[in-house]
Structure 1
């Protein structure tokens, strides 16, 4: 999450940019209207560029060539779609997320393989959760919970090799749904005394607000 571009600086874009900025990410915000940048407030420590979010010159100025994540959250589905397509197809950005207003367009987004968030009141939180959870780890959102698939990283623990399922669920308020050994030798629905090892593939349910602290267990 080191380099993030946010396209659109309305209520959602400015909120998302500030959330990312607060976590120490390098954030650049693009908007056609320079006055929109006032929504960011004084605490925002990223950069801003006036321009069109799918214009190549604007994107290059914003750092698209070294971008890890692009989030297109303007009020136009077409503009968000174009931003995501340009980012992934022309610049190989690993993770592009588009805000979706019209549910009739959902099928098209799915067919294109685009990651998206529907236009609810929690759009900024949903996009933030997708970004901090890591590329490819997010599967679905249920209310205030994220379902994620990821490789387990235990390097942050004193015992870096293993952890009991009951311990992880108790200490980190997460529910482990299933796991598979890193070598593919076995998969299982866990019992409380099941042991997870570093590198295991894990399917888990985590609350939105706990994702930033839980992300240390997710391998990049």
Structure 2
């Protein structure tokens, strides 16, 4: 069980607070607008505190001296950054998570060592994943890469089989795992592993290469 302070009780902050509280953590939610606490509903069993999230006295009243994690999730990047700086520098809170609206600042946040979540990037990746899922089985998104699951079609090439190393080199992808078409075996491949028609393959593909790679898979 952790002691967690959440600054901001909008849609994100309130949902996060409810999830953590239901997980058994001690949660205190800070917001400058007392009406925002209505987002928590009647069954929320954590604490609420009206005040400015980067105010030292407010944070002390919220129990920051015993805080394990602080999440700054207001709708203002400037406010979230100020909360982060106060929590880390004045109270030496090691685990501070910051919500970031302007994705243009991601590089600066990385250089500053700030642990952040950017909603713009997450939404873009989620939408992209749904778009590419029209090509094959989209499993997940990792930055500029997509994890795809598909059945291997080799009817358009001269040989009845293909080496993992050959397909990786030709299409600049990485094959993570494969399963035989009859379900008899699955394996983490090396460059010399042989793939057969109908094998189910999970591969990591860069965004820019998906269209050309899927032409090879589907032709």
TM normalised by structure 2 equals 0.55
Mapped to 2, the partners of 1:95 and 1:61 lie a distance apart of 19
Gaps of 5+ in 1: 124-140, 144-190, 192-220
Question: For residue 93 of structure 1, what is the aligned residue in structure 2?
Answer: 93
TM-superposed deviation, 1:110: 1.2
Question: For residue 66 of structure 2, what is the aligned residue in structure 1?
Answer: 66
Give secondary structure in 2 for the equivalent of 1:19.
helix
Q: Please show how residues 64-143 of structure 1 align to structure 2 within 5 Å.
A: 64-120=64-120, 142=142
TM-superposed deviation, 1:120: 4.5
Question: For residue 29 of structure 1, what is the aligned residue in structure 2?
Answer: 29
User: Greater RCO between the two (CA within 8 Å, min separation 6)?
Assistant: 1
Deviates more, 1:48-57 or 1:99-108: 99-108
**CA 1:60–1:100 in structure 2 vs 1: closer, same or farther (change >3 Å)?**
same
Gaps of 5+ in 2: 124-140, 144-187, 189-219
Q: Please show how residues 34-53 of structure 1 align to structure 2 within 5 Å.
A: 34-53=34-53
Equivalent residue pairs, number: 131
TM normalised by structure 1 equals 0.55
TM-superposed deviation, 1:142: 3.2
TM-superposed deviation, 1:122: 6.8
TM-superposed deviation, 1:121: 9.5
Asked whether the equivalents of residues 4 and 69 of structure 2 are also in contact (C-alpha less than 8 Å), the reply is yes
Mapped to 1, the partners of 2:10 and 2:66 lie a distance apart of 24
Cα RMSD after superposing both structures: 2.5
TM-superposed deviation, 1:53: 0.5
